[in-house]
Structure 1
Amino acid sequence: MNTVLTHLKIQVNEKIYVKDPETSALGKKIIQESIFLIDEIGFEDFTFKKLGEKIGSNESSLYRYFESKHKLLVYLSSWYWGWMEYRLAFSTSNITDPMERLKRAITIVTEKVEDDSTTIHINEAVLNRIIIVQFTKTLLTKEVDEENKEGFFLVYKRVINRIIDIIQEVNPNYAYAKSLASSIVEGALHQHFLKDHLKTITNCDENHSPTQFYIDLVQKTLSK
């Protein structure tokens, strides 16, 4: 898979950005360093001025790529889910047994993410930490319906739909495949957050991962 991803460009909805950051060295630097800065200081305190100072560029040059920090966060989220979609596609394509394919898909979207060395300017492990903490900020806005119509969340929904399809293969009679799939994808982010910050209200810890929890939940739910 790494060989394929070396030549792969994750497609992000062009309406999210002003100029595609993948087309220039500065654009890639903006993406690379924004990930580290958001992880370091949080999205609330993150500004284009601070990012510009970090990369040695004028604040105005950042606005040539993104009209707001919200759009930048949506871009990072879209890139992440696009990368996750490709991982799902390649990791499940040769598994014929539906339950085994579902378990593999759950593992992909719930496991601890390691950095992928084939994407030099993006550290997926750090980006995953941002997604765990900040992803809901891309959805819980007044503009969510309009942005949904513009296709901002299409790739995120495609990831969930892949899992929905497998759930329906495992148990065509299960009535809540969509709710189960979306609960797995977003719930895993929440469980990782609880595991790191609010340990007393989750069973997930160093010995029990969100992956183990969701595989156990799905197996018991779909076998009924």
Structure 2
Amino acid sequence: MLDISLVIEEKYFNKDPQSTDLGRSIISASIELMDELGFEHFTFKKLATKIQSTEASVYRYFDNKLKLLLYLTNWYWAWLEYQIDYNTHHLSNPDEKLKIIIKIISQSQSAIEQVNLPGAETSVLRRIVMSESDKTYLNKQVDQNNHQGLFRGFKKLCNKIATVISELDPDYKYPHALGSSILEASHQQAFFAQHLPSITDVSMDKKEGLNTQVCDFIEDLAFKVLSSKTNPTEKA
């Protein structure tokens, strides 16, 4: 597994947490604590206690916990994008590209080269994205944060998936809608299997791994949609 370093834009923080030992400690501890407590119960006071520092020191890096969550999720989106680029740059067939992308976003380990974020347990970061990422945009600040470019990483990743979809089927009218839907489904279906099992067919009890089931579902969904050339209204 390779280790990589990703550059995150300054708009997410007051001081780059990757530039100091304290900042890296803040990121590592915040991932652990947010996974343990959830976003609602996570506070800078609890984070400061965990790293044996002060709230003031945390605020020197981030304005508030929403900005910290935006930083963590953007870090995750950038990590996925790097994995996609690393594993598909040599491919010309969009069918193969989309299959690899689906494996990566669902974190189905087979057939892809994994890269790791230094100082972060990526499986834990993925759990945070699964359970907390919708809080970054399901709030009253969404338009303001979007205007500031704080969703750029998420939108860039969705656009990358949409581009491959359009390469595969130039006539498909909804590449961005499908791209964002399969990206969200890669996290939602795993979350539902663990917490709301009655609304998904992905199961914790099946012999296939959870990520493999999610990957199979998304691949089935995407390729059946893209292989159907008949307008549903024409079938009626």
Partner of 1:127: 125
Q: How many residues align?
A: 218
Letter in 2 for 1:105: I
- Of residues 186, 200, 204 in structure 2, which corresponds to 1:202? 200
CA drift at 1:147: 1.1
Q: Compared with structure 1, are the counterparts of its residues 117 and 123 closer, same or farther at alpha carbon in structure 2 (3 Å cutoff)?
A: farther
1:13·1:151 contact (CA, 8 Å) conserved in 2? no
Give the corresponding residue for 1:176.
174
Structure 2 distance, partners of 1:89, 1:119, is: 15
> Cα distance, 1:9 vs. partner?
2.7
Residues 93-140 of structure 1 show CA distances to partners (whole Å, capped at 9, x for unaligned) of: 112211111111111112258xx7853311110000000000000011
Matched to 1:193, the amino acid is: F
**Partner residue in 2 for 1:145:** 143
Give 2:107's aligned residue: 111
Which whole-Å CA distance do the structure 2 matches of 1:149 and 1:12 have between them?
A: 17
Alignment match, 1:161: 159
Note if 1:83 corresponds to 2:87. Answer: no
TM-score (norm: length of structure 1): 0.93
Q: Distance in 1 between matches of 2:26 and 2:39?
A: 15
Corresponding letter in the other structure for 2:122: E
Q: Cα distance, 1:143 vs. partner?
A: 1.3
Corresponding residue of 2:219 = 215
RMSD of aligned residue pairs (Cα, Å): 1.6
CA distance in 2, matches of 1:148, 1:117: 28
Distance 2:167 2:115 in 1: 34
In structure 1, distance between residues paired with 2:26 and 2:52 = 11
Question: Deviation digits for residues 60-91 of structure 1, max 9, x if unmatched?
Answer: 11000001011110110111111111011111
Q: CA deviation at 1:169?
A: 0.8
Preserved CA contact (<8 Å) 2:116 2:122: no
- Do the aligned residues in 1 keep the contact of 2:185 with 2:218 (CA within 8 Å)? no
Q: Distance in 2 between matches of 1:52 and 1:108?
A: 34
Structure 1: gaps spanning 5 or more residues: none
Contact 1:13 1:152 in 2 (8 A): no
| C-alpha contact 2:98 2:164 (8 A) present in aligned 1 | yes
In the superposition, relative to structure 1, how do residues 118 and 171 fare at CA in structure 2: closer, same or farther (>3 Å)? closer
Q: Percent identity?
A: 41
Q: 1:46 aligns with which of 42, 61, 66?
A: 42
| Partner residue, 2:28 | 32
Q: Quick one: structure 1 residues 220 and 117, their matched pair in 2 at CA, closer, same or farther if it must change by over 3 Å? A: closer
Give the residue type in structure 1 aligned to 2:221.
L
Change (3 A) 1:178 1:119: closer
Bigger CA drift: 103-112 or 171-180? 103-112
TM-score, structure 2 normalization = 0.88
